[in-house]
Amino acid sequence: MPKISTTLLSTIKTPEDVRTLPEADLPRLAQEIREELIRTISRTGGHLGPNLGVVELTIALHRSFSTPTDKLLFDVSHQGYVHKMLTGRADRLDTIRQYGGLNGFLLRTESEHDAYGAGHAGTALSAGLGMATARDLRGSNEHVVVVAGDAALTCGVSFEALNNVASATRRLIVVLNDNKWSISKNVGAVSNYLSKITAHPTFAHLHEQAARLVESLGGKGARDLAHKVESGVKHLLLPSVIFEDLGFRYYGPIDGHDTALLTRTFEFLKTQNEPVILHILTTKGKGYSPALEQPDKFHGLGKFQPETGETEPASSPTYSQIFGTRLADFADHNNRLVAITAAMGGGTGLSSFQTRHPTRYYDVGIAEEHAALFACGLATQGFKPFLSIYSTFMQRAYDMIIHDIALQKLNVALCMDRAGLSGDDGPTHHGLFDIGFLRHVPNLIFMQPKDEEEFADMLWTMTHYHAGPTAIRYPRGTGTGTQPKEHPQLLEIGQSEVLRHGRRVLLVGLGNMVAMAEQTADILEAQGIDAAVINARWIKPLDRQTIEFFARAAEVVCTFEDHVLANGFGCALMEAFAESRIATPVIRIGWPDNFIEHGNAEFLRAKYGLTAGAAAEKILAELHHPEANTNANPAA
């Protein structure tokens, strides 16, 4: 798609420029923004559908509120691209999700207009309430506006915030952006409840009523009419609108793509001295046919053809796709096997399982804690639940993993997609902490495959393990391309795989880093240094017998993991060596003790020394000058 003339968009350097734009020009600005979003994201990848759906809303917000004084919070904030464009960053949009460029989510360090950084759902209501309460305490008058998608209301923390609003602040504006989608189609009673509101025949007239309501902004007539409309809404439903019972004044639903109506409504809501919720109806992917036809695909995707929306097919199935198809295969012969996801059916590859076994597929919405406890209940009744959640989101279920799953030795399988670096999604989505928060949990079996074939074998092994919880971590995208066999094999729990024999150096790789360990061995052997290579497979239980046998003879050990070094896999080896009084120095290849920025994965690995060349260099330095190499210090 050729880049269109962005005459209006190019004049928007600050939010003030949005406020001074004639109302008649707003539809044109919205169209230019959509064209620029499609053009840019087709080349960079990113969250297209959510941003196409909030164009008019974001324009109206910046016409009615004055950032950075007023605070705008976007739940998850993946729909913040338009906000970035209207706050002086439009000329940098083509850098989004690229190293050194704009972040794919809001980031407080990126702009003073980004009031709160977020990459996980359900955070905006609590954070916004905290900001509103702080405003009240200091006696200032800025507005705090929270934009929360309807999917955020399936997240328990959102309801915790809603429960606390009326008692904590006198003034908060919440925009409920109702588009019936999170990443997957919204599910559950909350979604059905909102659908009942919008489907009631009386609401066909509410757009007109809302328009009349804001005609005389701030006047007594507007307030009276507002209360009449609200009262009418409340009495349409039995029970009454839930938000009223939580201490909010409810308005809507109104058209979320009518900028003028949204702007006038916000001007009215600014005069209200009580917490208010504005329910707006939007269409995810508005203005782009491919995104309308496939909302789940265009929620977040890589590069695509802007004319058709087509993406380049992967050279081989991804780990997620293998997970969904293999689990469905296993369920064909095991009616106790069930699959659970937290609003990520497509992302975790479970769409195929849903198609083949719809009665044993459960999408609980954005509710990871509930998903884990729900799995516990199933497990107590003899079922084998596979709980599939991205590594970065599994953190939310940590208490349940310890207190409910592991403590009770329940037969739950934790499947952590996107483990390791998640590249252009950035620090909120990197799965770099799960080894650290799981490897010390009692009763847990924890593993990572080196390739797709071993992945299928591990899944098969998990289905046959009945003595307690199991966990598996696996990376985003494709692996080595080694496709699973038709009939997977059971693996011996706690038994690693020796890939090469050698004496001077021991290289222990975990998961997708085994390939790097083998590349390092090639470099060393080219210099006449023999190296043993072990595919660890098991994070817990660690194969101490095999690894320690090679470690005692080696001059140096090097571990490889796609995880932070602190409390990671390399630390597990060092702890084992200390207990066994093995003095062989250990070099660890992994991520440092800081949040890793967004960018191309290969570039970031090179920057932080996660390459075979960097590993070989450290090993050679230790072999030649052991006393001078601080990297080999087990305490480092």
- Residues labelled catalytic: 284, 368, 396
Query: Which residues fall within 8 angstroms of residue 428, CB to CB, at 6 or more apart?
Result: 105, 117, 118, 119, 120, 392
- Are the C-beta atoms of residues 539 and 447 closer than 8 Å to each other? yes
**Interatomic CA distance for residues 329 and 81, integer angstroms:** 40
Phi, psi of 603 (to 5 degrees): -65, -45
Residue with tokens 């953190």: 395
Max CA-CA distance within the chain? 89
**Interatomic CA distance for residues 500 and 507, integer angstroms:** 9
β-sheet bridge partners, residue 301: 46
**How does DSSP classify residue 201?**
G
List C-alpha distances in Å: 592 to 49, 227, 536, 562: 34, 56, 21, 11
Residue with tokens 């702080």: 134
**Interatomic CA distance for residues 188 and 540, integer angstroms:** 36
**Interatomic CA distance for residues 322 and 452, integer angstroms:** 8
Sheet containing 505-509, strands listed edge to edge, beginning at the edge strand earlier in sequence:
497-500, 531-535, 505-509, 556-564, 586-591
The DSSP code sequence of 105-166 is: S--TTT-TT------STT-HHHHHHHHHHHHHHHT----EEEEEEGGGGGSHHHHHHHHHHH
Query: Which residues fall within 8 angstroms of residue 34, CB to CB, at 6 or more apart?
Result: 52, 55, 286, 287, 288
Q: Which two tokens stand for residue 105?
A: 């989510």
| Integer Rg of the chain from CA | 27
Q: Whose CA is closest to 105, among 430, 347, 367, 371?
A: 430
Query: Which residues fall within 8 angstroms of residue 373, CB to CB, at 6 or more apart?
Result: 400, 404
Q: Whose CA is closest to 563, among 457, 464, 455, 475?
A: 475
- Are the C-beta atoms of residues 400 and 373 closer than 8 Å to each other? yes
Query: Checking DSSP bridges between strand 505-509 and strand 497-500, what pairing results, if any?
Result: unpaired
